[in-house]
Amino acid sequence: MPLYRDEGVVLRTYKLGEADRIIVLYTRGRGKVRAVAKGVRRTRSKFGSRLEPGSMVSLQLYEGRNLDIVTQAERTEPLAGLRADLDRYGRATIMLEAIDHVSTEGEANPALYKLLTGALRELDGSGNALVVPAFVTRLLALEGVQPQVDECVACGAAEGLVVLAVHEGGMLCRSCRRGGVAISDEARLALSALVAGRVRQVLESTSAQAGQELELVAARMIEQHIERRLQSSAVIYEQLG
Ligand SMILES: [Zn+2]
């Protein structure tokens, strides 16, 4: 069996049999990888605690026919701030789930890997609530989707933009408003800056109030995107079947 090395982020893990665990990783070189960590649930396992969701690890694996097998795993960064704080950890979990949903096994995407590791480092260091909205906006851009935040998606007006209608792909003005999440001007301008790639400015200058609004909006946007992906893959499977 061929042996290989890679680095990656643990997205999630689940039990396999009595003592083993399946580790789902997002790796730099191979995209999503599903691998077995043998004996990891025994108390004296040498790498059990290193393979928790959110861990950044350097790995050695055997390439198996169905599942690869982890033979070595070392943390590359401690991420102690992230592991010690439930709020930070909860935010990291949203990002790990999003990557799990949009990534495919065996398909490397260096930009996506860089986005995930950069966002985890930022969250570990600052705990900034804007990290998830910044991450989601960039992730959607990599997926070819951007919310329209500077004009009403229905009539094109640039003034009086009051709600973000996630299903419609952007802002609606006061006259066109139907459903959607009410968002303040500050939150909308911050989202516009994120779409334009001015991430550092948004992380450093957005109020806590607008940050909360954007966290809610980001959660809706990623849910909507994942739902749409699941629906389109269901349609493809139906056509194949
Ligand atoms: Zn309008």
Q: Where are the domains of the chain?
A: 3-78, 128-240
Kindly give the distance from the C-alpha atom of residue 158 to the centroid of ligand 1, in angstroms, as a whole number: 8
- Name the pLDDT band for 195 (thresholds 50, 70, 90): very high
- What value does the mean pLDDT of the chain take? 93
Q: What is the mean pLDDT of residues 136-150?
A: 95
Q: What is the mean pLDDT of residues 93-111?
A: 95
Q: Which helix (H) or strand (E) holds 162?
A: strand 161-165
Kindly give the distance from the C-alpha atom of residue 190 to the centroid of ligand 1, in angstroms, as a whole number: 20
End-to-end CA, the chain: 34
Residues 219-229 pLDDT 10s: 999 999 999 88
Residue 3 has φ and ψ, to the nearest 5°, of -105, 140
Burial of 118-155, coded b for 16+ CB within 10 Å and e otherwise, reads ebbbbbbeeebbbbbbbbbbbbbbeeeeebbbeebbbe
Kindly give the distance from the C-alpha atom of residue 199 to the centroid of ligand 1, in angstroms, as a whole number: 27
Kindly give the distance from the C-alpha atom of residue 171 to the centroid of ligand 1, in angstroms, as a whole number: 8
Percent of the chain with pLDDT over 90: 83
Nearest to 161 by CA among 152, 170, 169, 153: 152
pLDDT of the residue at 159: 95
- Name the pLDDT band for 240 (thresholds 50, 70, 90): low
Kindly give the distance from the C-alpha atom of residue 175 to the centroid of ligand 1, in angstroms, as a whole number: 6
Kindly give the distance from the C-alpha atom of residue 152 to the centroid of ligand 1, in angstroms, as a whole number: 5
CB 203 within 8 A of CB 214: no
pLDDT of the residue at 65: 86
Can you tell me the distance from the alpha carbon of 102 to that of 225, in angstroms, rounded to the nearest whole number? 9
Query: Where does residue 36 rank: exposed (0-12), middle (13-18), buried (19+ CB within 10 A)?
Result: buried
Which residues face 105 on adjacent strands?
A: 31, 32
Can you tell me the distance from the alpha carbon of 180 to that of 94, in angstroms, rounded to the nearest whole number? 21
Q: How many CB atoms lie within 10 A of CB 176?
A: 20
Can you tell me the distance from the alpha carbon of 25 to that of 35, in angstroms, rounded to the nearest whole number? 8
What is the CATH number that goes with domain 3-78? Answer: 2.40.50.140
Kindly give the distance from the C-alpha atom of residue 17 to the centroid of ligand 1, in angstroms, as a whole number: 56
